[in-house]
């Protein structure tokens, strides 16, 4: 943050004369090359001569860097003094002088240099800005405050010192005044949004609401809203972050901010936010790649219907090949997700001649998955056959094998996380622990689950536990989960797991859930006994910290809101 600010500052204070010297002399270029190569001692000779004969900002700044690398910053003071005598109002040389004295920790000389600068340029905010910034960096915010106030009195306004004032207030823990100052600074310099968010991020929870109000107040400005969004993200409030950006005026600048936010949300797998932000950006700029990203986010967010409006096939006009490549696969997935698998099949048929073999296979696999999810194993098998031999290695084929109890094939084909919308982790865990290749009762239980028959599935998992003792606790735990963790119906199953399978990971999890159910019911004594039994009987369980924490909450030894 500081380096960005420093660069901005250096750019702003360079005089037109200095800026005009864009073509550097060969000896300066040579000095820069030596610096880049780490040959500081050689570079310093050339740069010192260049600064002496015809100083340019590039040469002076390079000399400053090279001396710092060599630990010889004090050698810069004499040439800088000379340059200042020749150009007493040149802020670049004054800034370098202050920085150098700061590096050397010569506090008294630093102060004197600042005073000389003020005398040379009494109406210039730069000396106050630079010196205050240095004091903040030195951890002397109170002294920085004095300088800012002095600058305000001398200049008649804080306008040119808002950035430093904002940093200062934050350093002093005056969060709301800092936010107000940032807000004013951002009006002129929206690129400071990241710096503002970084400075205000440590604000305590009690100040955050007021800070939010400062940035949300009218008028709606891009810089302020970007800063607030970054801030809210750092405070763990991504939804509020999006809300702060949503009300920006729809124009190309806002669309860029929305797209950037959407990319971050997409990368963080916050699908709802990504979908909404992409949708907002699409409202300004209809770009096919944004439509595809928005549709993927919508599918992941569980709102497949949005795909039809985000990526309408009509938008592609007569370009069926592009439609088949970009939008049709999304529509197929959306139709499958909302249970219109037949329509998905029809859509594939319509665009079939535009598909590459790989695209065709993926689309057909998606349809097969639709039938598998519906529990229609016959149609799923037919779709996989139609997709060709490669489809036999698909995730859909793996699920089909699982539901039919063919565990050897299921083990081979299923990968956790590969099937959209399906949490395969429990199934994979169970089939990995089973030594047999055929377990029809287990397959039947997962099939009932796929068909959405929770009650039936729960009963079938209990039956499967009796048939497959090797994984009985895991199957019983699945049955308990399907009973609904918020009710008491699962208690007999948890009880059985704890009693019959002590020492298993499922016993620890069951006891934790059992204790929670008792606590919800208000039976605090029994809940305490269960938590204690879990802690004492499973000292190596990964659930131990959680159990301890909940026991502490139950005893009232930690604040209830935590």
**Which among 364-372, 377-385, 491-499, 551-559 is the span making contact with other proteins, rule CB under 8 A?**
551-559
Q: Is the peptide bond before 378 cis (omega within 30 degrees of 0)?
A: no
Burial class (CB in 10 A: 0-12, 13-18, 19+), 426: middle
325: tokens are 């490549």
Q: Which is nearer to other proteins, 112 or 552 (CB)?
A: 552
**81 to 120: interface string for other proteins, x by CB under 8 A:** ----------------------------------------
Estimate the crossing angle of helix 2-13 against helix 193-200, to 10 degrees: 140
Residues 128-147 contacting other proteins, CB under 8 A: 139, 141-142, 145
Q: Cβ-count burial of 325 within 10 angstroms (0-12 exposed, 13-18 middle, 19+ buried)? A: middle
Angle at alpha carbon of residue 14, lines to 167 and 25, rounded to 5°:
135
Q: How many residues bind other proteins (CB under 8 A)?
A: 29
Nearer to other proteins, 102 or 254 (CB): 102
Q: Give, as ranges, the residues between 398 and 457 that touch other proteins (CB under 8 A).
A: none
Rounded to the nearest 5°, which phi and psi values hold at 406? -90, 85
Least Å distance, CB 152 to other proteins, is 15
Task: Note whether 490 and 506 are within 8 A (CB).
Answer: no
Instruction: Write down the least CB distance from residue 244 to other proteins, Å.
Output: 22
**Of the candidates 408, 336, 454, 358, which has an alpha carbon nearest to the alpha carbon of residue 397?**
408
Phi and psi (nearest 5°) for 202? -75, 0
- Contact string (CB under 8 A) for other proteins, positions 183-212, x = contact: ---------------------xxxx-----
Q: Are 419 and 369 in contact (CB under 8 A)?
A: yes
In the complex, least distance from residue 112 CB atom to other proteins, rounded to whole angstroms: 24
Pick from 389, 368, 387: nearest CA to 379: 368
User: 25 exposed, middle or buried (CB, 10 Å; 0-12, 13-18, 19+)?
Assistant: middle
Specify the residue, 168 or 347, whose C-beta has the smaller distance to other proteins: 168
Q: Quote the least distance from Cβ 462 to other proteins, whole Å.
A: 32
Looking at residues 482 to 541 of the shown chain, list those that interact with other proteins (rule: CB under 8 A).
Answer: 532, 535-536, 539-540
- Min dist CB 495 to other proteins, Å, is 22
Shortest spacing between CB 401 and other proteins, in angstroms: 40
- Assess 236 for contact with other proteins (CB under 8 A): no
Q: Which of 39, 119, 438, 549 binds other proteins (CB under 8 A)?
A: 549
Q: Which two tokens stand for residue 525?
A: 């004594």
Is residue 551 a contact residue for other proteins (CB under 8 A)? Answer: yes
Q: Is 52 in the site for other proteins (CB under 8 A)?
A: no
The pair of structure tokens assigned to 182 is 């940032």
202, 174 in Cβ contact below 8 A? no
Is residue 192 a contact partner of residue 221, using CB atoms and an 8 Å limit?
no
Q: Which of 26, 236, 317, 556 touches other proteins (CB under 8 A)?
A: 556
Q: Is 452 left (phi over 0), alpha (psi -120 to 50) or beta?
A: left
Q: Rank residues 120 and 544 by Cβ distance to other proteins and give the closer one.
A: 544
Minimum CB separation of residue 240 from other proteins in Å reads: 17
Stretch that binds other proteins, among 101-109, 257-265, 504-512, 553-561 (CB under 8 A): 553-561
**Residues at the interface with other proteins (CB under 8 A):** 139, 141-142, 145, 172-174, 204-207, 532, 535-536, 539-540, 544-545, 548-549, 551-552, 555-559, 561-562
């Amino acid at each position: 943050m500081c380096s960005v600010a420093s660069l901005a500052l250096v750019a702003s204070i360079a005089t037109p004369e200095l800026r005009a010297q864009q073509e550097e002399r060969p000896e300066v270029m040579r000095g820069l090359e030596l610096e880049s190569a780490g040959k500081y001692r050689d570079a310093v000779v050339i740069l010192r001569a260049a600064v002496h004969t015809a100083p340019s900002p590039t040469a002076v700044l390079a000399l400053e860097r090279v001396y710092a690398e060599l630990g010889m910053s004090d050698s810069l003071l004499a040439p800088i003094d000379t340059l200042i005598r020749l150009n007493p109002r040149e802020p670049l040389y004054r800034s370098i002088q202050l920085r150098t004295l700061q590096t050397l920790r010569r506090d008294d000389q630093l102060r004197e240099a600042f005073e000389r600068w003020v005398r040379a340029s009494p109406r210039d905010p730069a000396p106050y800005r630079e010196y205050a910034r240095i004091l903040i960096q030195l951890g002397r915010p109170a002294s920085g405050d004095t300088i800012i106030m002095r600058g305000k009195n001398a200049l008649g306004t804080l306008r040119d010192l808002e950035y430093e004032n904002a940093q200062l207030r934050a350093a002093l823990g005056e969060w709301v005044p800092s936010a107000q100052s940032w807000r004013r600074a951002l009006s002129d310099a929206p690129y400071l949004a990241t710096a503002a968010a970084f400075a205000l991020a440590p604000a305590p929870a009690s100040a955050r609401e007021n800070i939010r109000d400062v940035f949300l107040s009218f008028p709606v400005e891009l810089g302020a809203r970007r800063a607030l969004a970054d801030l809210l993200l750092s405070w763990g409030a991504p939804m509020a972050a999006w809300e702060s950006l949503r009300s920006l005026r729809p124009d190309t600048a806002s669309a860029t901010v929305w797209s950037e936010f959407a990319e971050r949300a997409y990368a963080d797998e916050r699908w709802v936010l990504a979908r909404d932000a992409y949708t907002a950006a699409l409202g300004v700029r209809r770009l096919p790649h944004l439509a595809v990203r928005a549709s993927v986010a919508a599918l992941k967010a569980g709102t497949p219907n949005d795909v039809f409006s985000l990526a309408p096939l009509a938008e592609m006009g007569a370009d069926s090949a592009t439609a088949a490549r970009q939008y049709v696969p999304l529509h197929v997935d959306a139709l499958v997700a909302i249970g219109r698998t037949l329509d998905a099949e029809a859509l594939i048929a319509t665009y079939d001649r535009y598909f590459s073999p790989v695209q065709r296979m993926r689309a057909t696999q998606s349809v097969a998955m639709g039938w598998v999810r519906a529990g229609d194993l016959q149609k799923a098998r037919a779709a996989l056959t139609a997709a060709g031999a490669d489809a036999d290695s698909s995730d859909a084929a793996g699920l089909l094998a699982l539901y039919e109890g063919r565990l050897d094939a299921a083990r081979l084909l299923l990968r956790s996380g590969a099937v959209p919308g399906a949490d395969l982790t429990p199934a994979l865990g169970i089939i990995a622990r089973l030594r047999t290749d055929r377990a029809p009762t287990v397959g039947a239980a997962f099939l009932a689950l796929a068909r959405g028959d929770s009650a039936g599935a729960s009963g079938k998992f209990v039956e499967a536990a009796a048939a497959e003792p090797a994984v009985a606790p895991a199957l019983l735990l699945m049955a308990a989960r399907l009973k609904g963790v918020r009710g008491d119906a699962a208690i007999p199953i948890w009880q059985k797991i704890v009693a019959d399978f002590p020492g298993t990971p499922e016993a620890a999890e069951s006891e934790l859930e059992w204790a929670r159910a008792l606590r919800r019911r208000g039976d605090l004594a029994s809940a305490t006994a269960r938590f204690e039994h879990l802690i004492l009987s499973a000292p190596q369980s990964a659930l131990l910290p959680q159990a301890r924490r909940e026991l502490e909450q139950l005893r009232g030894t930690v604040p209830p809101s935590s």
